Structure 1
């Protein structure tokens, strides 16, 4: 695993009299207007940069009398400055770490600035609303084929239509995905594999929060099944699709709430604790436990699937989305703090960064917050806990599959 994201770009500001430009082949050079000299290295950091990817939508690169200039057709502006310079990247050298390019104020669209994701396929669960929608929208606006894994087809179609209104040639698709039904997960995975040969990006974004005690049709507590078990099952069913791709990625949305989980030992990873009876249920505790399950799943998946890059991330605290829809108290609290929290575009930035950032190639098993690598809780790093959760999750799925088969066999007799 390479070293990444050790410091910020606060020292990247140019001294007075200096200007940053890009050559025709994408190499960044620096002009000193006092001495009339140029150099390839940054005058402050001594490092080299390049600009990569396509120009933003609506921009055109032109040449006149040997002079390169750029036309912004949308705003009817002309400039000699390459618009991609704002997101120039440093040369990756083994002797130095890749530096942080984005932070908590970055948006998903800024992370993808200049990127061309054509010929990529992404499946995003819970893509019809909130952070999931902004994630799917940002990927689609940069050429990615985005499959909306959602329970409600009408809401998903409305979300897709919004994207088509922005970009007529966007490529979006709908996959009926009900995370309260393991039978539906099997059906959805089979339909996806029938239509798509491979899957480049799997984003496990869907989740519920502060849900009143509810059992799914499979007999498991809803928070645990929706936030972990069903998406765990979906990932396993799509293993071949992911492994068929070069540099495939799985991004699992967790939360800083994983630090407050009461799961501390392998004895806590019992079906009756993960999916408790009503008298032992506390909605916040169930959410915290499910977020630790997300972390443990990501860690174990990274160990078992070394050819796929696995990341977990925290999108932001108290982001105003539909996550709080099941509790009037949390809806009020989320609305109260909304002016002080991230926008949905900002909340989607870390997810998109994990799913697409070039500097994360050949890395795996990392947890991110604000597009920055963060430490996981001690419980989240416990390999015994991760292995036990994997085995317990498989057992719980197998029990439902066996029961379904028994019912099916009885119906035939």
Structure 2
């Protein structure tokens, strides 16, 4: 015994071969209490060997297991009857005692989550099977640009538009991957007018070069789908010093759209579709911290950029009213795509809930709906989800913020504000 250490000793009787789980304290006034069976022998605290379990005497066969949970030690053992049992522990655990609130909450959560998922599964499956673009419009002679069409939703969007006879430009950063996708689409649709052009939305020089080359190559542009994006990137900046989410998701497409507006107007009726997200509800436009230099959170930065997409769409529609060019923003749904490549947590969650997540083909349906459905002109500036009108946040409906964001974006990109 260590000098000054107190010892508790209590005798119990139990049948041989029994199992026991007990609780003990370093308090002279409280003796260990078994939760099942009865013990024979002495239980002794030994501060020199905390969380230890041993069998004293002529033990023939025994099993001992120990599990530590932070400061809690759980020991379970089975020994021949009549032997002395020595256990040292600083803290113990007993099934006779009420469970900690945190453990109760965890157990309830583990029980409730499967139940809730089971109950919600029919509604989720209905959601995944709804929102299908049923338009039969064909696009021979039409010219379409889809950004980020070398993967995911953009790829499926480009494929469907090519299937309908459009001349489709895959505008992407990875040209080699884009060429592979173009050949795949050409093979599956029989449409050889699927072209790949370099476009890096994180570099305004690349955006301007793409727009200049496209304008020289094509006389018309009927549909522009601003689909490319980044999500939950560690803090980084574009080639022009913009925070990556705001720079790629908003400013890059803002500049591209402006540079192609002349072609869109000449080709009217024409459409601009901006892929946003339900995540815009968590977004805010902090004009004093637009580049995330004062404070930064990767998840919120994505939300802010998606809010900017909707504000841009609404202001663009207002400014283009009567021009024959209409604009729409869309929420594609929760889609299994490469957009989550920067977040290990999101990849894990996507795998865990893969049954409830849309495929890229399903995610492309609302973009296709806004690009193809006849009679949407009067709904220019609106937001769509699952091929239906969708509600947007109060921030997204704020015209003052929308106009200011337009002006600030023009200043950052060196564009005229009118």
What is the TM-score normalised by the length of structure 2? 0.67
Residues 54-104 of structure 1, C-alpha deviations (whole Å, 9 max, x = no match) = xxxxxxxxxxxxxxxxxxxxxxxxxxxxxxxxxxxxxxxxxxxxxxxx975
Matched, 1:363 2:386: no
Shift of the alpha carbon at 1:346? 1.0
> Whose RCO is larger (CA < 8 A, sep 6+)?
1
Shift of the alpha carbon at 1:335? 1.7
Shift of the alpha carbon at 1:363? 3.1
* Secondary structure of the corresponding residue to residue 119 of structure 1: coil
Q: What corresponds to 1:119 in structure 2?
A: 141
* Secondary structure of the corresponding residue to residue 329 of structure 2: strand
Is the alpha carbon distance of 1:167 and 1:223 closer, same or farther for their aligned partners in structure 2, counting shifts above 3 Å?
same
Q: Is the 8 A contact 1:103 1:372 kept in 2?
A: no
Q: Is the 8 A contact 1:315 1:369 kept in 2?
A: yes
Q: What corresponds to 2:394 in structure 1?
A: 378
CA distance in 1, matches of 2:186, 2:131: 20
Q: What corresponds to 2:228 in structure 1?
A: 206
CA distance in 2, matches of 1:182, 1:215: 13
Aligned pairs for 1:215-294 (under 5 A) are 215-263=237-285, 268-270=286-288, 273-277=289-293, 280-294=295-309
- Aligned counterpart for 1:312 among listed residues 323, 326, 329: 329
Is the alpha carbon distance of 1:365 and 1:107 closer, same or farther for their aligned partners in structure 2, counting shifts above 3 Å?
closer
* Secondary structure of the corresponding residue to residue 169 of structure 1: coil
Q: What corresponds to 1:301 in structure 2?
A: 316
CA distance in 1, matches of 2:298, 2:309: 17
Q: What corresponds to 2:217 in structure 1?
A: 195
Is the alpha carbon distance of 1:351 and 1:233 closer, same or farther for their aligned partners in structure 2, counting shifts above 3 Å?
same
Shift of the alpha carbon at 1:345? 1.1
- Aligned counterpart for 2:408 among listed residues 367, 392, 401: 392
Is the alpha carbon distance of 1:372 and 1:342 closer, same or farther for their aligned partners in structure 2, counting shifts above 3 Å?
same
Aligned pairs for 1:18-167 (under 5 A) are 104-106=128-130, 111-112=134-135, 114-167=136-189
* Secondary structure of the corresponding residue to residue 311 of structure 1: strand
How many residues align? The count is 288
Question: Which 4+ stretches in 1 moved above 3 angstroms?
Answer: none
Tell which structure's C-alpha radius of gyration is larger.
2
Shift of the alpha carbon at 1:107? 7.0
CA RMSD of aligned residues (A): 1.7
Stretches of structure 1 lacking an aligned partner (at least 5 in a row): 1-101, 400-413
* Secondary structure of the corresponding residue to residue 312 of structure 1: strand
* Secondary structure of the corresponding residue to residue 228 of structure 1: helix
* Secondary structure of the corresponding residue to residue 309 of structure 1: strand
* Secondary structure of the corresponding residue to residue 380 of structure 2: coil
Residues 331-388 of structure 1, C-alpha deviations (whole Å, 9 max, x = no match) = 1111221211222111100000001101313431110010000121111111110000
CA distance in 2, matches of 1:289, 1:269: 11
Matched, 1:180 2:221: no
